[in-house]
Amino acid sequence: MTAQPLKVMVKDIKRESPFVKSFTLIPAGSKPLPGFSGGSHITTYLRHNDQTMERHYSLTNTPGRPGYYKIAVKREENSKGGSIYFHESVQVGDQLDISYPKNNFLLSFQGSRHIFIAAGIGITPFMAMMKELKKQDKSFELHYAAKSKEACAFYNTLLSHFKKETHFYFSKENNRMNPELMKNQPIGTHVYFCGPEAMIKEYANTAASYGYPEANIHFELFSAPDTGPKHAFQVYLKRSNMWLEVPEGESLLDTLLAHEIDVPYSCKIGGCGSCQQFVSKGEIDHRDLFLTETEKRSTDVMMTCVSRANSPSIELDI
Amino acid sequence: MEEKKCELLRKEKIGHHIHKLEVKMDDAVLSKDCGKIRTIKWEGHVFEHPILYVRISKRRKKYYLFLDESKSECSLLRDRFPCSNFYLQEDEEYVPAYVPRNNDQKVISFIDEQSLFDTLPVIDLLLSKNIEQQIYAAGSLSDNKIKQYLNRQLQENVTYMTSFTSTHISSILSGQFIGTSLSITGTWPVVQELKKLAVSQGFTEEEIQCKGVGPKQKKVFCVKCYSINELKEDMNCPDCHADLDVSDHFSRRLEAYLGYIEIE
């Protein structure tokens, strides 16, 4: 169910900060790259030691049909292979397989004002979103927390393009970003967060307490939030008449894919809704961020990438 | 729905025809923060009479009841009611003019003479929750007594206007902050117009609650010429004269149903 990957070539590599590098990707063949909107990301498929690592990166260049993609990768101390590979192995001229751009972090077309709140490498989706809004002459501001000026990716770019809109917070200078910045904002303000899970939770809760409607609060997580122990359970596939065991610690989606059951998926962190399946029997343990609380109470669908069973077994309509 | 016994504590006439009663429930409490009573019973007589209620103390089981005696056909009810003890039966269908959201900081209500009665319990509900409120009332409220009551309850936070003009309303709405919700009541055409203005100022569905009375004009979006017109039977677009097949697809942004080209 996954589309053929796009073949791209690394055209340029630029150091944005001691730990962040930007990669410019152009088509490897003659076909132009598809267009994208602000907030989009691509999945890169990195082949390393006979394994394919899937990594998601936000596109940072100006949205539309620019003909190339730019991503920024932070070298993670606890890298599971992806960021180290980009920093140490990828060279100009290398070919990569990537997905079509996907967007789970859209700008609201209704919003009359947009506030972007980024921590560290969480800046990346906002680079494209701000360029899109600037083109449309729309009102926005950026609040960006980093350790220091030196460790702050895109510092100079932001100063030259978005000086008026950008507010920096450097913790080394004891200047901490505070969720109170969202208080007393005009009606029609939308807030967007990108950063570590704890930061997103804090800002989302504070925004809700100030009265921001659910639809005005947007965020993107880098990885699936920790939603507790992943116990084993059984799954019965009704139409295939097949029983499968989802082992402890593994997701239902991965179990299905491991058994070569062709099911759709995309983000794998419970944020996009692609891997939704109908549940005909059993109790769902919803752990995604896609369905609203009301939907979770009333629905008979589950996101197989993160959600599990609350009963010993569950029956899917596949 | 069961009958619930209550005791009258206080009674005040707040308008020419409107009474406000403070009651204490005997045992069973009323089900909502703000709702409607369908029938009342006392001394063995049962009366169908619309009464609105609002809870003012959960612990002490105290409520305010609002009663419009002009709506009563029974003189007995007008003359003798209420005595000290009576029974209430709720109307479960009733939707209040406004239901506070979690984290509401402020509520702006647009009302007219007709919807005023529905607004009365909401005013007390918001006061009890310490939510700031601002009321804009359109048309001449002929009842001076109720005006005095509103001024007393809301001090300077009630404004009387001859009618709602779009420039004035837009200027009121554009200066608001996140945390402000709107309660729009009145006749449907006015409600729909106000809602449109609110959406254009950035208010979302979640921040707007509407309750209209009377006929509601449905509108149709023509897929051929993109014009929006009133729904009629055998819909023919008044602008491009295409015969339209009106679907049940409704655009909340355009407040209109999608009209496809009719194919013979």
| Digit-coded pLDDT (tens) for B18-51 | 999 999 999 889 999 999 999 888 888 888 888 9
Question: How many H helices and E strands in chain B?
Answer: 5, 15
DSSP 8-state assignment for residue A186:
B
Model ipTM? Answer: 0.81
Polymer length in residues for chain A: 318
Answer whether A187 sits within 8 Å of B206, measured CB to CB.
no
Residue B189, chain A, CB below 8 Å: the answer is: no
Cα–Cα distance list, A144 to A61, A165, A166 (Å)? 18, 11, 7
Residue B178, chain A, CB below 8 Å: the answer is: yes
User: Measured between alpha carbons, how far is A25 from A42 in angstroms, rounded to an integer?
Assistant: 11
Please give the pLDDT value at position B74: 60
Give the best-scoring range by mean pLDDT among B60-74, B134-148, B168-182: B168-182
Rg (CA), chain B: 22
pLDDT averaged over chain A?
92
Q: How many CA atoms lie within 13 A of B97 on its CB side?
A: 31
Residue B107, chain A, CB below 8 Å: the answer is: no
CATH topology identical between B4-91 and B106-213: no
Higher pLDDT, A298 or B40: B40
Averaged pLDDT for residues A50-70: 92
Please give the pLDDT value at position A218: 95
Is there a contact between B229 and B239 (Cβ–Cβ < 8 Å)? Answer: yes
Higher pLDDT, B217 or A209: A209
Averaged pLDDT for residues A11-24: 95
Task: For residue A290, give both structure tokens.
Answer: 């896609």
Please give the pLDDT value at position A1: 43
Rg (CA), chain A: 21
- Residues of A within 8 A of B206 (CB-CB) are 213-215
Q: CATH topology for B4-91?
A: Elongation Factor Tu (Ef-tu); domain 3 (2.40.30)
Averaged pLDDT for residues A39-66: 91
- A46: nearest Cα among A82, A4, A9: A82
State pLDDT tens for residues A98-125: 999 999 899 998 888 999 999 999 999 9
3-state secondary structure of B7: strand
User: Measured between alpha carbons, how far is A190 from A152 in angstroms, rounded to an integer?
Assistant: 24
Residue A185, chain B, CB below 8 Å: the answer is: yes
Task: For residue A257, give both structure tokens.
Answer: 């894919």
Pick the range with the lowest mean pLDDT from A118-127, A264-273, B80-89.
B80-89
In chain A the domains, ranked by start, together with CATH numbers, are 6-98 (2.40.30.10), 113-220 (3.40.50.80), 233-316 (3.10.20.30)
Please give the pLDDT value at position A115: 98
Is there a contact between A214 and B206 (Cβ–Cβ < 8 Å)? Answer: yes
Q: Please tell me the distance in Å from A110's CA to the nearest CA on chain B.
A: 7
Higher pLDDT, B252 or A158: A158
Q: Testing the interface with B: which of A110, A181, A187 to mutate, by most B Cβ within 10 A?
A: A187
User: Which of A189, A210, A214 lies at the smallest CB-CB distance from B206?
Assistant: A214
**Would you give the distance in Å from CA B170 to the centre of its chain?**
21
* % of chain B surpassing 90 pLDDT: 69
Where would I find the beta strands (DSSP E) of A85-237? 95-98, 113-119, 140-146, 166-170, 189-194, 217-220, 233-237
User: Measured between alpha carbons, how far is A243 from B32 in angstroms, rounded to an integer?
Assistant: 47
DSSP 8-state assignment for residue A220:
E
Percentage helix, strand, coil for chain B under 3-state DSSP, each rounded to 5: 25, 40, 35
| Block residue for tokens 């990669």 | A23
Band of pLDDT at residue A267, cut at 50, 70 and 90:
confident
Answer whether A212 sits within 8 Å of B178, measured CB to CB.
yes
Please give the pLDDT value at position B252: 80
Answer whether B176 sits within 8 Å of A111, measured CB to CB.
no
- Residues of B within 8 A of A188 (CB-CB) are 201-203
Band of pLDDT at residue B217, cut at 50, 70 and 90:
confident
Q: Please tell me the distance in Å from A141's CA to the nearest CA on chain B.
A: 16
Residue B208 φ then ψ, to 5°: -125, 130
- B103: nearest Cα among B206, B227, B231: B206
Please give the pLDDT value at position A85: 92
User: Which of B103, B177, B181 lies at the smallest CB-CB distance from A208?
Assistant: B103
Q: Is the pLDDT assigned to residue B264 strictly greater than 90?
A: no
* % of chain A surpassing 70 pLDDT: 98
Is there a contact between B42 and B83 (Cβ–Cβ < 8 Å)? Answer: yes
- Residues of B within 8 A of A210 (CB-CB) are 103, 105, 178-179
Answer whether A210 sits within 8 Å of B178, measured CB to CB.
yes
Please give the pLDDT value at position B75: 55
State pLDDT tens for residues A222-261: 666 778 889 999 999 999 999 999 999 899 999 999 999 9
Residue A184, chain B, CB below 8 Å: the answer is: yes
pLDDT averaged over chain B?
90
Answer whether A112 sits within 8 Å of B202, measured CB to CB.
yes
DSSP 8-state assignment for residue A36:
B
State pLDDT tens for residues B174-208: 999 999 999 999 999 999 999 999 998 989 989 99
CB pairs under 8 A between A and B: 60
Please give the pLDDT value at position A72: 97
Averaged pLDDT for residues A1-19: 88
User: Measured between alpha carbons, how far is B15 from B147 in angstroms, rounded to an integer?
Assistant: 8
3-state secondary structure of B159: strand
pTM: 0.82
Domain positions in chain B: 4-91, 106-213, 219-261
State pLDDT tens for residues B110-128: 999 989 999 999 999 999 9
Averaged pLDDT for residues A60-87: 91
The distance in angstroms from the start CA to the end CA of chain B is 52
Band of pLDDT at residue B77, cut at 50, 70 and 90:
low
- B119: nearest Cα among B251, B211, B244: B211
- Residues of A within 8 A of B105 (CB-CB) are 210-211
Q: Is the pLDDT assigned to residue B221 strictly greater than 90?
A: yes
CATH of B106-213, one of 3.40.50.1970, 3.40.640.10, 3.90.850.10, 3.40.50.80: 3.40.50.80
Beta bridge partners of A7: A97
